[in-house]
Amino acid sequence: MLQISNLRKSFAQPGGKRLEILNIPEFKVDAGEQVVLLGRSGGGKTTLLHCISGITRADSGEIWFLGEELTKFSEPMWDRFRAANIGYVFQTFNLLPAFTALENVLLGMSFSNTAADPDYAQALLKRVGLGHRLGHKPDQMSVGEQQRVAVARALANRPRLLLADEPTANIDPANQQGIVDLIKESCAEFDIGLILVTHTMDVASQFDRIDRLDDINLVVAEAAMSVAESDQGGDSE
């Protein structure tokens, strides 16, 4: 379903040199398959998800998804494709503070070609256990509840792939397992492929397929070095 080949991504550095982050010869996810991407902070996990979703453009290489070569897409095409086929859950700040839980889910339906479906949005919120909090705004909910809304929103367009970028990293330990279960179960339920990024084994160990970024990414050494430096700077990721 998703197939990445020879993907390379580097960032310009202040000195003019480019810092290479990703060099992935091959990475595949089958339809409905659940993959954990395990890697240290600063390893390029987020960057990889950005590249897959089209938020960031890779320098070279090919990304195929659902039979389409995404890397050939123009930006608006990729935006539209992302809206329709890729669900996204971030580590923090998922929800727009001006909108209620229900409206945040409806927002997830607003940028694809299909019409928003309030009934389905409600059903999803019920599914994530928030059927009674439809009208609440983010600041009236706990971080764990907010993350559940984010999951519901990621599912809103019936995507084929869910990208979850350290979805439990900011949540109190008591609620972390609930979120992991929710993501795992709903992806299975709706037959959605999953790439879940994490740096903790606790989370990773619950999945059948665990890919270490270091194993699929050829620029491991340099990335690890820069991580070591940034970790000294107190990066808590």
Partner 1 sequence: MNLLTIAIRSIKQRLLSSSLTMISMALGVGLVVSVLAIFGIVQKSFNANATLGYNLVIGAKGGKLQLVLNSVYYLSEPIENIPYEYYLEFQNQEVREKEYSGSYSYKAVQQQQAARMTMLATGLGLAAPAATITALATDLALEEQVAPLYPWTREGKYSAFTDFTIPLCLGDYVGPYRVVGTTPDMFSLLNYGAAGDKPYTMREGGRNLEHFHSENGFFEAVVGAVVADDRGIKVGDTINPSHGGAEGDEHETQFIVVGILENTGTPNDRAVFINMEGFYRMSDHAKPLENEDDIFGTNQVAHKITDAEYVLPVEKREVTSMLVRMDPLYSIGIENQVNEGNVAQAVFPITEIRRLLDYFVSPVQTLLLVLTVLICFMSGVSILVSIYNSMSDRRSEIAVLRALGARRKTVYNIVLLESMVLSMVGGLMGILGGHGLIAAFSGMIEEQTGVQISFFDLAPPLPIPVPLLGDISSEFLVIPGLILLAILVGFIPATSAYKTDVARSLGK
Ligand X SMILES: Nc1ncnc2c1ncn2[C@@H]1O[C@H](COP(=O)(O)OP(=O)(O)O)[C@@H](O)[C@H]1O
Closer to partner 1 by CB, 6 or 110: give it. Answer: 110
Closer to ligand X by CB, 31 or 225: give it. Answer: 225
Residue nearest to ligand X (CB): 46
Contact 58, 24 (CB under 8 A): no
Rounded Cα distance between 21 and 134, Å, is: 41
- Of 23, 46, 71, 112, the residue at the interface with Mg ion (CB under 5 A) is 46
Q: Write the interaction track for Mg ion spanning residues 60-79; mark x where CB under 5 A is met and - where it is not.
A: --------------------
Contact 237, 168 (CB under 8 A): no
Contact 21, 44 (CB under 8 A): yes
Work out whether 3 is an interface residue with ligand X (CB under 6 A).
Answer: no
Rounded Cα distance between 47 and 62, Å, is: 15
36-95 residues near ligand X, rule: CB under 6 A = 39, 41-47
Rounded Cα distance between 52 and 175, Å, is: 28
Rounded Cα distance between 174 and 155, Å, is: 24
Rounded Cα distance between 89 and 87, Å, is: 7
207-236 residues near ligand X, rule: CB under 6 A = 226
Q: Which entry of partner 1, Mg ion, ligand X, none binds 42, CB below 5 to 8 A by partner kind? A: ligand X
Work out whether 20 is an interface residue with ligand X (CB under 6 A).
Answer: no
Contact 192, 176 (CB under 8 A): no
* Part in contact with Mg ion (CB under 5 A); list of ranges 46-54, 75-83, 134-142, 172-180: 46-54
Residues that bind partner 1 (CB under 8 A): 47, 50, 53, 55-56, 75-76, 79-80, 82-84, 88, 90-99, 103, 106-112, 116, 153, 157, 165
DSSP conformation class of 158: -
Least separation in angstroms between residue 44's CB and Mg ion is 8
E strands, 13-126, are: 18-29, 34-38, 60-65, 68-69, 86-89
Beta bridge partners of 62: 5
Closer to partner 1 by CB, 113 or 221: give it. Answer: 113
Q: Which entry of Mg ion, ligand X, partner 1, none binds 21, CB below 5 to 8 A by partner kind? A: ligand X
Rounded Cα distance between 10 and 209, Å, is: 27
Closer to partner 1 by CB, 65 or 88: give it. Answer: 88
Place of tokens 């620029």: 219
Least separation in angstroms between residue 91's CB and Mg ion is 7
Q: Which residues bind Mg ion (CB under 5 A)?
A: 46
Q: Which residues bind ligand X (CB under 6 A)?
A: 11, 21, 39, 41-47, 226, 237
